[in-house]
Amino acid sequence: GAPTAAEAAASLGQLYRNIVKTEPIISLERELDITAQYLDLMAFLYGDKLIYHIDTDDEVKPLQTPKIWMQPILENFFKHNFQSDDRFKVVVITARKLREGYLMEFFDNLGSVAEDKLAQINAELTPEAIRSYTQLPGKGIGLQNVYQRLSLYYGGRVQMGLQNNSPSGVRIRILIENEGENGNVSTSDRR
């Protein structure tokens, strides 16, 4: 397994360089490339029990976005849904350009979130709630951090939510509305 281990070490080094040396604002295409590097490492750890697929429209690739916001979403799948068992694990990422903006969805095929917890998490992913949430001690920060980072960059144009898939798995949906919707200031004016 030395060649495989060497390849994984090289991938880890490349991922680290991308995290440290990449500009803070990158194209969505670049963010997806970095995310694929992370998933390649997870595929090394899980072997043939993990498969992932990234499906994107060409129209979404130039969208400017903060770097490394997708990785915490995927880390949640691995931390909470993918137990150390023999079940086959699947991750799917889609990115589409819609009339109203850009839609990104993250799916997994295992696990679920209790309905009361799902409602609580979704209630925390709002502009009003996220301000006070970050001040509370002892709270998980993964998804809330992603929402906060995207909200700081895109303003009030971000919607984020979780839902359970049927029969199993979790879906995270992020919509970034087109500029000008809701009278928001353009991202170029916020820099």
Q: Please write the tens of the pLDDT for every residue from 42-89.
A: 988 888 899 999 999 999 999 999 999 999 999 988 888 887 678 899
Contact between 38 and 62 under an 8 Å Cβ cutoff? The reply is no
pLDDT-derived band at 23 (thresholds 50, 70, 90) equals: confident
108-126: pLDDT as tens digits: 999 899 999 999 999 989 8
Question: DSSP string of 27-39?
Answer: EHHHHHHHHHHHH
* pTM of the predicted protein model: 0.82
Structure tokens at 172: 């995270």
pLDDT at 142: 80
pLDDT at 105: 98
CA dihedral for 34, 37, 41, 46, sign (positive or negative): positive
Distance CA 16, CA 60 (A): 25
